[in-house]
Chains A and B, each alone.
Chain A
Amino acid sequence: MKKTSTNVLPAEGGLGDEPLLAVDDLHVEFHTRAGTVRAVNGVSYTVGPGETLAVLGESGSGKSVTAQAIMGILDMPPAVIPKGQIRFRGTDLLKLSEEARTQVRGQRIAMIFQDALSALNPVFTVGWQISEMFRVHRGMSKSDAMKKAVELMDRVRIPAARQRVNDYPHQFSGGMRQRIMIAMSIALDPEVLIADEPTTALDVTVQAQIMELLAELQRESQMGLILITHDLGVVADVADKIAVMYAGRIVEQAPVYDIYKAPAHPYTKGLLDSIPRVDQKGQDLYAIKGLPPNLLDLPTGCSFHPRCPYRQDNCVTDVPPLYEISGTRGSACHYWREVLDGDQQ
């Protein structure tokens, strides 16, 4: 696809009608020897200042790929973006020159990753890695940047930050490493923070602390937060709205309360039903039947139809659009009414 690139950076200040970040009909494909893997097939979502969007889905649903496309850190090739827009303050990031994109990356849209041990460079001290943001992007001197790094480590509540600033990543515990990752990502006060499964590698008590920290930092700075996860428990407390992804599409999008109250897509319903509950102790856990879809060869019609208990004949042939249920809610199921009602009975 031919693209004209520009060097015009996204504006700052007021937003007008534009959302802070809007992903619009995004498609991402990977051209491999085995064929074309359609990882993202028309994803649209928005996030505003101070808002938390949780993107939920199993491995391979395209949630991380979408995030990497926003950051512009996909390996291209093999990845190709044949269609779609990623608008940040009204500017399509996909049309920006690489140079202009580098100006946005890290400074205005930042990202934290799942496994902080492998995501941090093992041969540099954590202080060096955090302060690099200030040295490279703000032209600060080494010592000033280091002071800022200590401040940030304090802010993400790493004990004895001043003593630990010259330690290496492997000398920290998992939770502390993720805090360092967070400190690094918020260093330049980004407007959007993407957290790609930030707590998956951590144990449960630490998970809660990290989520609390993220929520607190978000309140202070009013940044938009995209929280990618497959953990429904993490989502309920912090998210404002949820986008559920399956096979590279959003199958349900809704305010967090609505989804937990009554899901409008069979897949979401299956996810919620498979959470272990105390009152069902001793019974078999509910599991969604079948296997995740093969992205090289997606099922026809609705990608979820081979596993769906609500399947009718037209599900095999017609791709469901994202039906509007209310102004803030949508479901990509031909029979969303039945799913919604069935749950309320």
Chain B
Amino acid sequence: MGRYVIRRLIQAIPVLIGATLLIFCIVFALPGDPVAALFGDKRPDAAVAEVLREQYHLNDPLLLQYWYYISGVLFRGDFGVNFAQVPVSEILAGKFQVTLNLALTALIMEAILGVGLGLWAALRRGKATDTMILASTLLLISIPTLVTGFVLQLVLGVKLKQWTGLDIFPVAGTFAGLRSYLLPGFVLAGVSVAYLTRLTRTSLVETLRADYIRTATAKGLSRRRVIGRHGLRNALIPLITYLGADLGNLMGGAVITETIFNLPGIGNQLFTSVYLREQPVVVGTITVLVLIYILANLVVDLLYAVLDPRIRYE
């Protein structure tokens, strides 16, 4: 087990370098001179521009620039500053909490709804319940987040309050505490719920066909125990993997949801920064997202080894 963990940690290093280098190159390739952008409408004095250029290492080769950046991030936690000289890490700190809250709300909803509906469908396989659940997941997959977001915002956020006077789901912002995350969390989880439902159903149906399930029945165990202990324990393995990897997706996918519900998270920030061409913030935000993605995958792999003993000893 110890060796497996170390091996997985070492494998994460090239992924981190590759992903961040790619982002760095893409942002570097964006048109426009950052120093010129710094001065806005005015034209900078050539000497001043040159000083700034030197200060920001803009005359160095791309790879060296990347090294300055990534070593700052990894060894000093320094993500650089934006044009207004505010440290990027400071900009992201508060926003990060909002996005994490949103993603975790979505993840919990996804896990409960997806696994629950999937189990229900699997145990009623071929019956009306199963068909209905499968059809509704298809519907959920087909509608883009943009549509579900606005529709739910209008119906549950605005109209529900007009009709009943109850303010259950705030329309925007984070002023209502955790309650603010319910509606955006559900919108964000939507498509993932559908996928997880289908995955759960397939996984359990597949597992219940296995020989060891027949053995468990032959041992005289109750159906509840056969499915709940012997079946579920095996069927859960791919689901945990999917859920873990999906945390990264949810944080990345939060851009649209945060924009719709006006949540001050990193998705919203990314949207604004791309719009304003604040390159250090864009790179910093994406680097953080990549780090989370890698971390989530690492946790999944470790969890996988815990859940499936056959992985540990390979």
- Using a CB–CB cutoff of 8 Å, the interface residues on chain A facing chain B are 71, 73, 102-107, 110-111, 113, 115, 118-124, 132-133, 136-137, 168, 170-171, 181, 184
Q: How far is the CA of A111 from the CA of B219 in the complex (A)?
A: 8
Q: Are B218 and A120 closer than 8 Å at their CB atoms?
A: no
**B residues 150-183 touching A (CB-CB < 8 Å):** none
Q: Are A119 and B220 closer than 8 Å at their CB atoms?
A: no
Q: Do A133 and B214 contact each other (CB < 8 Å), given the known contacts A122-B308, A123-B233, A171-B313?
A: no
Min CB–CB distance A78 → chain B (angstroms)? 11
Q: How far is the CA of A86 from the CA of B298 in the complex (A)?
A: 54
A-B contact list, 13 entries, CB within 8 Å = A73-B214, A105-B217, A106-B220, A113-B211, A118-B210, A118-B212, A120-B212, A123-B234, A123-B307, A136-B219, A137-B220, A168-B310, A170-B313
Q: Are A133 and B219 closer than 8 Å at their CB atoms?
A: yes
Q: Do A121 and B212 contact each other (CB < 8 Å), given the known contacts A170-B310, A171-B313?
A: yes
Residues of A within 8 A of B310 (CB): 122, 168, 170
Min CB–CB distance A97 → chain B (angstroms)? 13
B277 within 8 A of A: no
Interface residues on B, range: 20 to 34
Chain B 215-251, CB within 8 Å of chain A: the 1/0 string?
A: 1111111100100001001100100000000000000
Q: Are A113 and B221 closer than 8 Å at their CB atoms?
A: no
Q: How far is the CA of A113 from the CA of B212 in the complex (A)?
A: 10
Query: Count the A-B residue pairs with Cβ separation under 8 angstroms: how many?
Result: 69
Across the interface, B219 reaches (CB within 8 A) one of A103, A106, A122, A124, namely A106
Q: Are B211 and A119 closer than 8 Å at their CB atoms?
A: yes
Question: 17 extra interchain contacts, Cβ-Cβ under 8 A, other than A105-B220, A113-B218, A120-B215?
Answer: A102-B220, A102-B221, A103-B220, A104-B220, A105-B219, A106-B218, A106-B220, A119-B211, A121-B215, A121-B216, A121-B230, A122-B310, A123-B307, A132-B219, A136-B221, A170-B313, A181-B215
Q: Are A106 and B221 closer than 8 Å at their CB atoms?
A: yes
Min CB–CB distance B243 → chain A (angstroms)? 18
Residues of A within 8 A of B215 (CB): 113, 119-121, 181
Q: How far is the CA of A170 from the CA of B309 in the complex (A)?
A: 9
Q: How far is the CA of A54 from the CA of B234 in the complex (A)?
A: 35
Interface of B is mostly: helix
Min CB–CB distance A126 → chain B (angstroms)? 11
Residues of A within 8 A of B221 (CB): 102, 106, 132, 136
Residue of A nearest to B222 (CB): A102
Residues of B within 8 A of A105 (CB): 217-220
Residues of A within 8 A of B211 (CB): 113, 115, 118-119
Q: How far is the CA of A120 from the CA of B216 in the complex (A)?
A: 9
Q: Do A122 and B212 contact each other (CB < 8 Å), given the known contacts A168-B309, A171-B313?
A: yes
**B residues 108-144 touching A (CB-CB < 8 Å):** none
Residue of A nearest to B215 (CB): A119
Min CB–CB distance B241 → chain A (angstroms)? 14
Q: Are B230 and A122 closer than 8 Å at their CB atoms?
A: no
Q: Do A119 and B309 contact each other (CB < 8 Å), given the known contacts A105-B220, A106-B221, A136-B221?
A: no
Residue of B nearest to A188 (CB): B220
Residues of B within 8 A of A106 (CB): 218-221
Q: How far is the CA of A226 from the CA of B97 in the complex (A)?
A: 65
Q: How far is the CA of A106 from the CA of B218 in the complex (A)?
A: 6
Residues of A within 8 A of B313 (CB): 170-171
Residue of B nearest to A117 (CB): B211
Q: Are B218 and A71 closer than 8 Å at their CB atoms?
A: yes
Across the interface, A122 reaches (CB within 8 A) one of B214, B218, B309, namely B309
Q: Do A73 and B225 contact each other (CB < 8 Å), given the known contacts A120-B212, A123-B309?
A: no
Residue of B nearest to A68 (CB): B214
By Cβ-Cβ distance, the 8 closest A-B pairs, closest first, are: A106-B220, A118-B211, A105-B220, A121-B212, A106-B219, A168-B309, A119-B211, A119-B215
Most A CB contacts (10 A, CB to CB) among B220, B230, B234 go to: B220
Q: How far is the CA of A204 from the CA of B36 in the complex (A)?
A: 82
Residues of A within 8 A of B309 (CB): 122-123, 168, 170
Residue of A nearest to B221 (CB): A136
Residues of B within 8 A of A121 (CB): 212, 215-216, 230, 233-234
Chain B 196-218, CB within 8 Å of chain A: the 1/0 string?
A: 00000000000000111011111
Q: How far is the CA of A345 from the CA of B309 in the complex (A)?
A: 61
Chain B 86-115, CB within 8 Å of chain A: the 1/0 string?
A: 000000000000000000000000000000
Residues of A within 8 A of B212 (CB): 118-122
Residue of A nearest to B230 (CB): A121
Residue of B nearest to A136 (CB): B221
Residue of B nearest to A121 (CB): B212
Residues of B within 8 A of A171 (CB): 313
Residues of A within 8 A of B230 (CB): 121, 124
Residues of B within 8 A of A122 (CB): 212, 234, 308-310
Residue of B nearest to A114 (CB): B211
Residue of A nearest to B214 (CB): A73
Residue of A nearest to B208 (CB): A75
Q: How far is the CA of A171 from the CA of B314 in the complex (A)?
A: 11
Q: How far is the CA of A121 from the CA of B217 in the complex (A)?
A: 12
Residue of B nearest to A111 (CB): B218
Most A CB contacts (10 A, CB to CB) among B216, B309, B313 go to: B309
Min CB–CB distance A53 → chain B (angstroms)? 19
Q: How far is the CA of A137 from the CA of B217 in the complex (A)?
A: 13
Q: Are B308 and A123 closer than 8 Å at their CB atoms?
A: yes
Residue of B nearest to A118 (CB): B211
Residues of B within 8 A of A168 (CB): 309-310
Min CB–CB distance B238 → chain A (angstroms)? 13
Q: Are A136 and B214 closer than 8 Å at their CB atoms?
A: no
Residues of B within 8 A of A102 (CB): 220-222
